[in-house]
Amino acid sequence: MRRRSRSAQAMTANPILRAIASHREAIQADEASYDDDGCALSKELADRTGAAESAAFQALAIEPCRSHADVQAKVHYLLTGSVGVPTPLIECFGFDEYGGDAVIYRFVASLLLPDRE
């Protein structure tokens, strides 16, 4: 039985890192549904993978941060793009298929850290 690396263990234990990884996987699956010329291999497949990528983005956006490291990881990911995405992912908030204004408000709220007394 192989032991997972500490970084792999941390990623699966940390909901923010897990959501980032899930979104990256969804982007890769969505991009695989198109040929090199950007044409969908099938409309149904492209619709399905596009919807899954949007859902993964929204799940990441609203996942509550639990630490400063979570906030940093989430904001860094959204500002720097992802696999095959040359533009900042933060621009997705401007599109209705990514949840629009409702997701923006929940995203900002997700950055507020819980009070620790």
The predicted pLDDT at position 86 comes to 77
Q: What is the pLDDT of residues 67-82, one digit of tens each?
A: 999 999 999 999 998 7
Q: Is residue 69 part of a domain?
A: yes
Q: How confident is the model at residue 106 (pLDDT cuts 50, 70, 90)?
A: very high
Averaged pLDDT of the chain: 90
Range of the domain at 48: 6-110
- pLDDT exceeds cutoff 80 at 54: yes
Looking at the structure of the chain, the number of domains it has is: 1
**Side-chain-side CA neighbours of residue 112 (13 Å):** 6
Residue 52 lies in a domain: yes
Q: What is the pLDDT of residues 14-40, one digit of tens each?
A: 999 999 999 999 999 999 999 999 999
In a domain, 77, yes or no: yes
Angle between helices 43-62 and 68-80 (to 10 degrees): 140
In a domain, 58, yes or no: yes
Does 98 map to a domain?
yes
